[in-house]
């Protein structure tokens, strides 16, 4: 039996506990999610570095999963677009059962290897892409098939699972085993197994974006300022990064169509907005490189 499916004898009387004790048990058990991610920092670092290399050459991030794991992967892909202005067509999330499965469980879809192959064919998976496949069990046929096809075409295959020695990890170029063990509620991998996946996915994609220059210092400088809150955040980011007044930040942002990275490069390099855009294009969108380049 998989570790995530084992029964946790420590909580075998969970239903007899008071509400406060049930809540404490569930929260306390989550600490193991952080520990599980910490245990794979080396592999996670390698996954980030190799992904950055592929994406810098024009590759895409393609997530694949089913059920809870697939929904977490879908969420990670979706958040890259507003947070880092990453092109939506380069953050593709494949979920067993299709988009409907994001909101309504399509449990049978995870058993379809043909479904995975068809989904990958539709997005035209190529050798320059990165596939990150996520499954708590590490045995989900849809997810395993997706990762196997990734390796066949020469794409970077990253596998994330919560059970060691499982097929998904064995198929991966870079296996990420988030070994969280038995859950408080037997078999409910939406608990600490899911938490570990969320932490690892957040860490992975955020680190990738840092390495691609979407962050300056620790500021999110390629955010899409698509509403009032985000426009005000853009002003704060420019003020902080460039050390200018609110008035000056707003003026340059207005010229730069509220593109934070363009405004920062313009102010710190002392160049026009159009020159700042050219510097960013030449640096591949890397803000610090655009600021420090000698061209």
Task: Kindly report the three-state secondary structure assignment for every residue of 154-209.
Answer: CCEEEEEECCCCCHHHHHCCEEEECCCCCECCCCCCCCHHHHHHHHHHHHHHHHHH
Give me the DSSP letters along 261-276: HHHHHHHHHT--HHHH
pLDDT at res. 103: 60
pLDDT at res. 157: 98
Predicted TM-score of the model (pTM): 0.91
Q: What 3 state SS string does 98-146 have?
A: CHHHHCCCCHHHHHCHHHHHHHHHHCCCCCCCEEEEEECCCCCHHHHHH
* Contacting residues for 190 by C-beta, under 8 A, at least 6 apart: 68
In order of start, what are the domains of the chain with their CATH numbers? 3-211 (3.40.50.10490), 215-292 (1.10.8.1080)
Q: How far apart are CA 235 and CA 225, in angstroms?
A: 10
Look at residue 49 and give its three-state secondary structure: helix
Paired tokens of 212? 């691609």
pLDDT at res. 247: 97
Distance from CA of residue 284 to its chain's centroid?
A: 21
**Residue pLDDT tens, the chain, 295 long:** 788 888 888 899 999 999 999 999 999 999 999 999 999 999 999 999 999 999 999 999 999 999 899 999 999 999 999 999 999 999 999 998 767 666 666 666 676 788 999 999 999 999 999 999 999 999 999 999 999 999 999 999 999 999 999 999 999 999 999 999 999 998 788 899 999 999 999 999 999 999 999 999 999 999 888 899 999 999 999 999 999 999 999 999 999 999 999 999 999 999 999 999 999 999 999 999 999 987 6
pLDDT at res. 105: 62
pLDDT at res. 106: 61
Beta bridge partners of residue 169, listed in sequence order: none
Which residue's structure tokens are 């000698």? Answer: 294
Paired tokens of 244? 């200018």
Q: How far apart are CA 54 and CA 134, in angstroms?
A: 20
C-alpha separations of 204 from 51, 76, 77, 139, 199 in Å:
9, 10, 11, 22, 8
Whether the CB-CB separation of 249 and 242 falls below 8 Å is answered with: yes
pLDDT at res. 188: 85
Question: What is the phi/psi pair of residue 105, to 5°?
Answer: -60, 130
Whether the CB-CB separation of 18 and 177 falls below 8 Å is answered with: no
Show which residues are catalytic: 79, 110
* Contacting residues for 138 by C-beta, under 8 A, at least 6 apart: 2, 159, 161, 162, 163, 166, 167, 168, 169
| Of 287, 177, 212, 168, the residue nearest 61 (C-alpha) | 212
Q: How far apart are CA 117 and CA 292, in angstroms?
A: 44
């Amino acid at each position: 039996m998989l570790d995530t499916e084992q029964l946790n004898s420590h909580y075998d009387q969970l239903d007899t506990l008071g509400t406060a004790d049930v809540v404490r048990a569930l929260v306390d058990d989550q600490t193991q999610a952080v520990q599980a991610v910490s245990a794979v920092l080396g592999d996670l670092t390698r996954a980030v570095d190799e992904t950055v290399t592929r994406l810098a050459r024009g590759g895409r991030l393609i997530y694949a999963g089913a059920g809870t794991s697939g929904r977490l992967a879908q969420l990670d892909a979706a958040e890259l677009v507003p947070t880092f202005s990453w092109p939506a067509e380069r953050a593709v999330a494949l979920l067993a059962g299709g988009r409907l499965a994001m909101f309504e469980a399509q449990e049978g879809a995870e058993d379809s290897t043909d479904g995975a192959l068809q989904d990958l064919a539709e997005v035209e998976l190529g050798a320059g892409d990165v596939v990150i496949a996520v499954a708590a069990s590490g045995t989900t046929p849809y997810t395993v098939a997706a990762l196997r096809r990734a390796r066949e075409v020469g794409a970077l295959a990253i596998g994330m699972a919560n059970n060691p020695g499982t097929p998904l990890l064995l198929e991966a170029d870079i296996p990420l085993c988030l070994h969280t063990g038995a859950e408080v509620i037997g078999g409910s991998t939406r608990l600490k197994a899911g938490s570990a996946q969320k932490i690892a996915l957040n860490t992975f994609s955020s680190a990738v974006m840092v390495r691609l220059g979407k962050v300056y210092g620790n500021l999110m400088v390629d955010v899409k300022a698509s509403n009032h809150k985000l426009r005000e955040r853009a002003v704060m980011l420019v003020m902080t990064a460039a050390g200018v007044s609110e008035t000056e930040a707003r003026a340059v942002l207005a010229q730069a169509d509220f593109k934070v990275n363009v405004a920062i490069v313009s102010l710190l390099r002392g160049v026009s907005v159009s020159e700042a855009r050219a510097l960013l294009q030449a640096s591949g969108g890397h803000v610090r490189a655009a600021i420090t380049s000698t061209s």
